Each structure stands twice: as C-alpha cells, then as structure tokens.
Amino acid sequence: MRESEPGAGRVVLAATPIGNLGDASRRLIELLEEADVIAAEDTRRLHRLVQGLGVHPSGRVLSYHEHNEAAKTPELVDEVRSGRTVLLVTDAGMPSVSDPGYRLVEAAVAEGFTVTAVPGPSAVLTALALSGLPTDRFCFEGFLPRKAGERAARLAELGSERRTLVFFEAPHRLPAMLRAVVDSFGAERPIAVCRELTKTYEEVLRGTAGELADWAEGNEVRGEIAVVIGGAPEAPPVSAEDLVAAVNGLVSEGARLKDAVAAVAADAGASRRELYAAVLASR
C-alpha cells in the first residue's frame, strides 16, 4: 500500500441528481464552486447543472467520458500529483457505476493518492428501494447486451441467481429485454420497471415479467429506465424417494449402481453413502 505523496491533491467522485435538482447536496455545490479541475462526462450537461444550481465553477472544466478516459486519466493524475482537487461528475448519479470513473480511481489508488466521494442520488438504489422486491441481497448488472444471442446467454448465466437483479435499459430496447426475461426466467418472475425516477413523470410499474413485457410492447416507453427483477425462487427440496427413483432410472438405462448414485448425489448435494443405503433398502 502506497501512501499519498506530500502535497498531493485528491480525487473526489460526486453524485449528481438523477432528475430532481433539489437532490443536489451542499457538498456537491461547494465542490463545483471550489474544485481546481472538474472532469465531466458531458460538459453541456454540466453547464445545465451549474446553471440550475446557481453555481459558478472557478476551476478548469474538461470532458471525461468513455471514449477518452484512457487518454485523459494520466492528465488528471498529474493534476492530483500537483496538489489539485479533481472533481469527477457524470451525467447523473454516482461516477463509475455504469459511468466513467473506474480508470481514474484505479490510477489514483495505484499512485497512493486520496480518493473520496460525495454520496448522493443513485438510480440503482432508488429503483431497488421502490421496487417492492427484496432489498437485503441484490446485484447490479448494468445494461444487457444489445444482440439477442448475447443477451440470452447473459440471462442464462443469471437464471439461478437468488439475489434481486437491477438493470438499466434504453426505452427503445425495453420490449425486447423484457421478452427475453420471460423466455429465460419465465412469465411469472416478479419485476418492477422504474421510469424517470425523481422527475415529474416518475412511474414505477410492478407485476410479472409476462405482464410487463405485454405492457412494454403495447406502449411507447420513454425516459430513463431501471428494471428490477426478483431473484430465482428457491428450488423445492427433493425427497429421498425421488433420489432413489432417479438412481434406479439411470441403472435401468445401463449405468452402474455406483456411478448412478454418485451422479444423482452430486446433482442434489446429497450424501453418496446415505443414498446408496436408501437404494439398497428399497430393493
């Protein structure tokens, strides 16, 4: 672990409003006014933000987005090395969460510089909290792949995930995304589609995957969207009788008893010895 260089500055990741300017924190406003450098995902969006907040930045503003962050990161690290405060803001929410930020944090940490954050609005956590689905364990998956085959493969990987899932999706791709969820997870999987969170036309639709896929296909959906999906239901316990029947089925197809017991026990997470004894007892 490297210690911060004497006189070095710092990197600050600051969450910006996801819709309602009233959600801007006092610390965000202060840093927008005082930071030496503001790295913004979109400088035009930053201009609208500071205008709306009545803020007058004193530092240098530069563009920092997914297409130039690899090239711009060394420049920002140099600014920190020179003792300056670099404030990173994205279009909405917390930097580095489906937005630029990771590269800068990684580089600054590698140099031993201070990296801190101004927490605030988060579309992921807001959608999760409003979904009505379990919040004790969840995972964020960002955007699903655009291509149908790659999207189906990703959903197949998540088919047995027990935690609540949170995704982002573009409005024009929402119908295809929800139909793919139906195909992969079943029409009865609980879902919440959260649209325009914290904005004037905020809407949260809750129902099954099938219901919301039908809704999306029948409506022109607009706005920023987060989709929250309930985790996979717990598989019902398999009875000893079912395990014995599975072993006997494999044996009748030509498998050796020992191999059949091993295969069924491994699949069910059962004891080989106990299953073997149960099969013998059933004969």
CATH of the domain at 197: 3.30.950.10
Which of 99, 121, 143 is the endpoint of a domain? 121
Range of the domain at 181: 124-229
State whether 22 and 79 are in the same domain: yes
Provide DSSP, the chain: -PPPPTT--EEEEE-B-SS-GGG--HHHHHHHHH-SEEEES-HHHHHHHHHHHT----SEEEE--TTTHHHHHHHHHHHHHTT-EEEEE-SSB-TTSSSTTHHHHHHHHHHT-EEEEE----HHHHHHHHS-S--SSEEEEEEPPSSHHHHHHHHHHTTT--SEEEEEE-GGGHHHHHHHHHHHH-TTSEEEEEESTTSTT-EEEEEEHHHHHHHHHTS---S-EEEEEPPPPPPPPPPHHHHHHHHHHHHHTT--HHHHHHHHHHHHT--HHHHHHHHHHT-
Q: Which range, of 24-28, 69-73, 129-133, 233-237, averages the lowest pLDDT?
A: 233-237
pLDDT at 99: 87
pTM of the model: 0.80
CATH of the domain at 75: 3.40.1010.10
pLDDT at 48: 96
Q: Which range, of 9-18, 79-88, 226-235, averages the lowest pLDDT?
A: 226-235
Residue 3 within a domain? no
Residue 40 within a domain? yes
State whether 83 and 94 are in the same domain: yes
Q: Looking at the 3D structure of the chain, how many domains does it have?
A: 3
User: What is the pLDDT of the chain when averaged over all its residues?
Assistant: 94
Residue 85 within a domain? yes
Between 8 and 134, name the one with better pLDDT.
134
